Structures are given as C-alpha cells and as structure tokens.
C-alpha cells in the first residue's frame, strides 16, 4: 500500500477504507464470503471445524496426517491449569463472561509453559473453549467442566456448554455455526488484534484485546441481544406490532444490518435453513423459527435490511440449550482461530499501526493558577 505524504481524511469508523492486504478471508457486498479462496457454503457443506481452522491458519486444506496431528495438538493442549480458574473464580458471580475469559487468557500468558510462538497460539486456541464454557460457572463458584476425551473441538465445546449429549444433527449444526464465526476479515475484534500484534506484543495480549472488543453489543454481544429481542415476540402474529413499535421508538433491532452485506448475509441464509430443519425435527419449538421468519419479513418490508449471522445463530444456540450469556463466549471460542491467523499475517510483514488524527480542539490557551481560574 502506498504511504501518503500527510494525513488523509477518511470516513468515520474507517468505512470502506482498506487498511491492510490479507490472504485470509474476504466478505463482499454481493453476499459472498471466502476463507482462503473457498466459498463459505462449500466449507459448511463439506469441511469439519478442524479442517477449516487448519485452512484459516495455514492457507491450505490439510492432508489426513496434518489434520490428525492438528486435532491431536488441540486436544492435547485443551486442559486449563487450575491457577487460571482460580483467577477467574476470584472475580465473583457478578463478572461478565467476556471479562472472565479475558482475565483467564491474561493469566494464561503468565503461567503457560508454551514458549514457541506456534505453541502459545495453539494453547490459546485449544483452551479458549474451556474458558468460554466456564466463563459463568467458575466465577459463580461452581466446578469447571473439562473437555471430553475422544471428542472433536465443536462436540467437546457443546458438551461443556450444555452438559448433555446432543444428537448427531445438533452437533453438525453447531459445528457449522462455529465455522461461520471463525473468521470475517477486518471486523472490530480482528482489527484490534492486528493493532496489538503490530506492537509485537505476544499472542496472549492480542487475544485479550480481541476479547475486550467483543464485549460491546455492536460486535460480539449482538447474538445475545438478538436472542433477548426475539424472546419478547411471543408468536409470529406479534411480529408486525413489535417491529412497528421498535421502529417508532427509534430503537435498533439487533441481528439486522451489516457493514458489508446489504442484500443478504450468506451465513445467515445457511443458519436459517439449519434452524428450520432443527424445528422440524423437534416437531415443536415454541414457534421460534416462525417468529424469526416473521420479524425478518417485517424488517425487510419496512427497511430493506437483511438479518445477519447473529440473528439466526442465536435461536440455534437457544434450541441447543446454551445459556444466552454464553453466546458471545461461543463466538470467542471460534473466532480465536481467525485472530491468530491475522496475528501471524500482521507480524510476518509488520509495520506498526499508528494512524493520525485531526485535532479540532482549542489552541493558544494560557495556564492560570488555580486561585485565578473562573468557575
């Protein structure tokens, strides 16, 4: 990228501004999303979570030997030192789950025996699932749930989250949603990770910063907010009045709209299909799919705003029995693989990310002693 001679004014929020070259993923306004060149629908239909994670991290699909080795590495590093849980427990039951995970990752950076860069990154990636699943339990004083032996990443995480044996189809759907959450080019948390990586701070610091950026409802917390909103709509017939009332009050309907996708989010389309089949297989889901479809229709009719991934991922998590406050931690457990891919890409061709700003405050003020200052 060509450097400018002086500051360049850009849109607020950096909308439409390319801040880096990347080979990892790309979302486009036409509703497409690719990971390392592979369309997301292709990966959702054919790949496992571990295959996709390996692809995102390494730039190619693994051979059988590479996949087995990678999966074994993640499983072997998934155990969390009790000292990390002690730090999380000290936060108390009022701790926000993301704060608990972030604190856990920070503590891990001080005691983790891994020393090589790949080792440290794999340690964070593998342990994030247990930290996410226990981000409410441990601060509340409950015993942590541990990763199950002989289970893949997605299956192990789901079991820790719900403490029940899911059906094969439920496990498959959950794995698809994790694949969708794994990576999404230069989103807020990824950009945060790359800024920290550009200082050459270690992966623990970068992951902690990424977690901090997930806490707000406009990024990671959107799936929780979307579910809380959907639970207010008691039936599909209430959708029109609910949307009317919300729009008239000037409130935002969570789970709708996206900075990139203007016509449709490809991940949301696929999740909608999965949710419908989950509802059909159950024979009765309290009308959650009907509510989702009705609210989506009303929003498109009024605003021409499509739903995003969070809108349909949230009710999938709900039907799987995952507690709403754990939806963002689930996001983090998957997105950490994308973060580490971006961490590596940033460090490999590093330049400190240090943008300029335009000062619009006062100038030329004269300091006066406190006794001479007017109220």
All structural domains of the chain: 41-215+327-348 (1.10.580.10), 222-320 (1.10.230.10)
Backbone angles phi and psi of 360, in degrees to 5: -125, 15
pLDDT band of 286, cuts 50, 70, 90: low
Q: Cβ atoms within 10 A of the Cβ of 211, count?
A: 31
- Contacts for 65 with CB less than 8 Å, ≥ 6 apart: none
Label residue 29 by pLDDT band (50, 70, 90): confident
**Which pLDDT band, with edges at 50, 70 and 90, does 211 fall under?**
very high
pLDDT greater than 90 at residue 342: yes
Which contiguous run of DSSP H or E holds residue 35?
strand 33-35
> Does residue 14 surpass a pLDDT of 90?
no
CA 192 vs CA 43, 198, 203, 205, 224: distances in Å: 26, 10, 12, 11, 21
Question: Nearest Cα to 335, choosing from 257, 260, 227, 223?
Answer: 223
Mean pLDDT of 90-114: 94
pLDDT tens for 219-234 read: 888 899 999 999 999 9
Sheet holding 33-35, edge to edge: 25-27, 33-35, 38-39
| DSSP 8-state code for residue 39 | E
- Specify the pLDDT at position 263: 84
Give the separation between CA 368 and CA 107, rounded to whole angstroms. 45
Neighbours of 220 (CB within 10 A): 27
**What is the structure's pLDDT at 69?**
97
Q: pLDDT digit string (tens) for 236-271?
A: 999 999 999 999 998 888 899 887 888 889 999 999
Residue 3 has pLDDT above 60, yes or no: no
pLDDT at 4: 55
Residues designated as active site: 219, 258, 310
- Decide if 98 contacts 214 (C-beta within 8 A): yes
Report the pLDDT value the prediction gives residue 216, as an integer from 0 to 100: 83
In tens, the pLDDT along 147-171 reads 988 899 999 999 999 999 999 999 9
Q: What is the mean pLDDT of the chain?
A: 93
pLDDT value at position 179? 98
116 burial level (CB within 10 Å; 0-12, 13-18, 19+): exposed
Instruction: Please report the pLDDT score of residue 375 as a whole number.
Output: 65
Q: pTM of whole model > 0.95?
A: no
- Please check the confidence at residue 374 and state whether its pLDDT lies above 80: no
Average confidence (pLDDT) over 315-342: 97
Q: In this structure, how many other beta carbons lie within 10 angstroms of the beta carbon of residue 294?
A: 20
In the numeric block, which tokens belong to residue 117? 């860069």
pLDDT at 16 over 80: no
Average pLDDT of the residues in 61-81: 96
């Amino acid at each position: 990228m060509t450097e400018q001679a002086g500051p360049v004014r850009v849109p607020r929020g950096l909308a439409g501004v390319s801040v880096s070259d990347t080979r990892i993923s790309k979302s486009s306004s036409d509703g497409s999303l690719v990971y390392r060149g592979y369309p997301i629908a292709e990966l959702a239909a054919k790949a496992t979570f571990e295959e996709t994670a390996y692809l995102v991290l390494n730039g190619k699909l693994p051979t059988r030997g590479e996949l087995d080795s990678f999966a074994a590495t993640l499983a072997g590093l998934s155990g969390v030192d009790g000292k990390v849980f002690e730090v999380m427990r000290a936060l108390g039951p009022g701790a926000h789950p993301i704060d608990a995970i972030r604190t856990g990752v920070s503590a891990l950076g001080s005691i983790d025996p891994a020393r090589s860069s790949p080792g440290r990154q794999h340690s964070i990636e593998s342990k994030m699932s247990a930290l996410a699943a226990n981000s409410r339990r441990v601060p509340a004083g409950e015993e942590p749930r541990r990763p199950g032996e002989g289970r893949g990443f997605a299956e192990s995480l789901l079991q820790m989250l719900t403490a029940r044996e899911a059906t094969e189809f439920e496990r498959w759907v959950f794995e698809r949603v994790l694949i969708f959450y794994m990576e999404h080019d230069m989103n807020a948390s990824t950009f945060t990770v790359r800024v920290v990586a550009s200082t050459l701070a270690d992966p623990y610091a970068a992951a902690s910063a990424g977690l901090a950026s997930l806490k707000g409802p406009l990024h990671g917390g959107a799936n929780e907010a979307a579910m809380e909103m959907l639970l207010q709509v008691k039936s599909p017939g209430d959708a029109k009045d609910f949307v009317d009332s919300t729009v008239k009050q000037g409130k935002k309907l969570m789970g709708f709209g996206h900075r990139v996708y203007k016509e449709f989010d490809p991940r949301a389309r696929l999740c909608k299909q999965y949710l419908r089949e989950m509802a059909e297989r159950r024979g009765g889901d309290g009308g959650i799919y009907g509510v989702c479809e009705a609210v989506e229709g009303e929003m498109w009719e009024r605003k021409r705003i499509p739903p995003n991934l969070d809108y349909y991922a949230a009710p999938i998590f709900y039907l799987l029995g995952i507690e709403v406050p754990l939806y963002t931690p689930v996001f983090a457990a998957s997105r950490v693989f994308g973060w580490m891919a971006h961490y590596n890409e940033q460090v490999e061709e590093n330049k400190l990310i240090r943008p300029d700003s335009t000062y619009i405050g006062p100038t030329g003020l004269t300091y006066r002693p406190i006794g001479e200052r007017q109220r």
